[in-house]
Amino acid sequence: MLDDKELLNYFAPIIRDDMRAVAEYQHETVTPLSIPVTAMIGDSETTTREEALAWSEITTGECRVLQYEGGHFFLFDHVEDICKLIQSTLIH
C-alpha cells in the first residue's frame, strides 16, 4: 500500500481519523440501558467472548454474545444470518 500513491492517498485519512478517535476517546459513565444487547464477534479475531461480554455493563437487560466463523470482518460472510437476527429483534 505504501508504494501505491493512489491507495495511500485514499486510506491515509481514514486510518489517521481512526487513530485520532482511539487516542482521544474518553469513557463516560452513562445510565445503563434497559434493553437486551447482542454482541457479535468472529471466532478468529482477537476479541474474546469475555471481552465482548463487557457490553453487559451498558444494560440492565440481557447481554448475549454470538460468535461467527471468521475474523474481524466476519459480517460480510454472514450478512443473511445477521439481517435475519436484526429483523427478528425488531419484530419482537
pLDDT single digits (tens) 23-70: 999 988 888 999 999 999 999 999 999 999 999 999 999 999 999 999
pTM exceeds 0.85: no
Looking at residue 29, what DSSP letter applies?
A: -
pLDDT of residue 92: 60
Instruction: Let me know if residue 8 belongs to a domain.
Output: no
Rg over alpha carbons for the chain, rounded to the nearest Å, is 17
Residue pair 58/30 in contact by the 8 Å Cβ criterion: yes
**Structural domain range at position 62:** 29-91
Domain count, the chain: 1
* Any domain includes 18: no
Residue 16 domain flag: no
Report whether pLDDT(1) > 80. Answer: no
